[in-house]
Amino acid sequence: MITVDARGDACPIPVVKTKNAIKEMGGPGEVRTLVDNEIAVQNLTKMADQKGWKVSSRKIDEDNYEVTMTVGETAGAEAEEAPEVCQPDARTRKTVVVIASDCMGQGNDDLGHVLIKSFLYSLTQQDVLPATILFYNTGARLTCEGSPVLEDVKSLEALGVEILTCGTCLDFQHLKEKLQVGGVTNMYEIAEKMLKADHVIRP
Residues contributing to the site for another protein (CB under 8 A)? 10-13, 15-16, 19, 37, 39-40, 42-43, 46-47, 50, 89, 91, 129, 158-160
Tell me how crowded residue 111 is: count the other CB atoms within 10 A of its CB.
12
Query: Which value, in Å, is the radius of gyration of the alpha carbons in the chain?
Result: 21
Looking at residue 57, its amino acid is: S
| In the complex, least distance from residue 69 CB atom to another protein, rounded to whole angstroms | 12
| In the complex, least distance from residue 114 CB atom to another protein, rounded to whole angstroms | 28
Nearer to another protein among residue 18 and residue 70 (C-beta): 18
Nearer to another protein among residue 127 and residue 192 (C-beta): 127
Nearer to another protein among residue 91 and residue 202 (C-beta): 91
DSSP lists the bridge partners of residue 118 as: none
Nearer to another protein among residue 42 and residue 173 (C-beta): 42
Nearer to another protein among residue 39 and residue 114 (C-beta): 39
| In the complex, least distance from residue 95 CB atom to another protein, rounded to whole angstroms | 13
| In the complex, least distance from residue 127 CB atom to another protein, rounded to whole angstroms | 8
Q: Is the CB of residue 182 less than 8 Å from the CB of residue 157?
A: yes
Nearer to another protein among residue 162 and residue 168 (C-beta): 162
Q: Is the CB of residue 2 less than 8 Å from the CB of residue 33?
A: no
| In the complex, least distance from residue 47 CB atom to another protein, rounded to whole angstroms | 4
Tell me how crowded residue 32 is: count the other CB atoms within 10 A of its CB.
16
Report the C-alpha gap between 86 and 58 in whole angstroms.
6
| In the complex, least distance from residue 151 CB atom to another protein, rounded to whole angstroms | 17
Report the C-alpha gap between 84 and 91 in whole angstroms.
17
Report the C-alpha gap between 92 and 168 in whole angstroms.
31
DSSP lists the bridge partners of residue 46 as: none
Residue 93 has φ and ψ, to the nearest 5°, of -75, 150
